[in-house]
Amino acid sequence: MLDKSKLNSIPNDSTEPTSAGNFSPEEIAKFDKLAESWWDPNGKYKTALEFNRARVEYFITQICLFYDRDPKKVAPLQGLRILDVGCGGGLVCEPLANAGASVVGIDVSEMSIEVAKRHALKSQLDIEYRHEHAHHTSTSDQNRYDVVINAEVIEHVPNKKDLVKECSQLCNFNGCVIMATLNRTCKSYLIGIIGAEYIMRYLPIGTHSWRDFVTPVELNNMASMAGMQLITEMGMSYSLVTKTWKTTASLGVNYVQLYKKLATG
């Protein structure tokens, strides 16, 4: 039964980050425990792997459009420096590296970073992985990135404004920041939690807390305050008939927003 009290629960951005940074120790432990499942095609993240393929294809296309490149060319992202904040096991990093980008992935889960390193070695990809928080990453001019990606992370942190600000600070002026998360709607509660975690078991139970989901308007407001301008946005939906993910105009559940880091930011 739908718990109406959860639908009235609004995230509290005033929550102070813990000593573990902008993540609770419980949240880090949760992903440490699941780290070995990141690349398992028959494991707990099986559907997440399928979701990732569709999502990263959209990321690469939008990055190419942003930088006026042809996504159909070989290594279309060559010459671009990309940072994946909250990279997990490297699911986003590897396709970007295959597309020619110079990729750095950071994550607060040490075990996830180790899994990512091993898989990159197996895939013969030169990706730099670091076990660190975004606020510990250097923001000096020479260390900023052409693209900063933060995918399915913001719903796991208590201080969302700080994370958005950190992503902006890590991006070059006139570069792009890609944020991907889940909307806080009745539909996302039914599909993203009840359906995905409890009924279909696409994700481990407890992966998400609905009250921590972020609406597109809230995310846009935080990004604007961090010196970024919204360029485009798109939703992602899953078809039970074709068992595939595709982009959609609806932002009701999963969605992606691409921002430009303004030179005055």
Taking Cα atoms as reference points, which of 216, 149, 156 lies closest to residue 178?
Answer: 149
Structure-token pair, residue 40? 């398992």
Range scoring the smallest mean pLDDT among 80-84, 164-168, 200-204: 200-204
Superfamily of domain 19-261: Vaccinia Virus protein VP39 (3.40.50.150)
CA angle 183, 22, 203 (to 5 degrees): 45
Structure confidence by residue, pLDDT tens digits, 171-186: 999 999 999 999 999 9
Structure confidence by residue, pLDDT tens digits, 36-57: 888 998 887 788 899 999 999 9
pTM above 0.95, yes or no: no
Q: Which residues pair with 218 in a beta bridge?
A: none
For the chain, which residues make up each domain, given as ranges? 19-261
HSE-CB of 19 using CA atoms within 13 angstroms: 0
Q: How confident is the model at residue 195 (pLDDT cuts 50, 70, 90)?
A: very high
| Dist. CA 198–CA 109, nearest whole Å | 25
Helix or strand (DSSP H, E) at 120 = helix 110-122
Structure confidence by residue, pLDDT tens digits, 231-255: 999 999 988 888 889 999 999 999 9
Residue tagged 């696409």 (tokens): 202
- Asked whether the CA dihedral 204, 205, 206, 211 is positive or negative, the reply is positive
Q: Return the amino acid letter for 10.
A: I
pLDDT of residue 17 exceeding 80: no
Q: How confident is the model at residue 4 (pLDDT cuts 50, 70, 90)?
A: very low
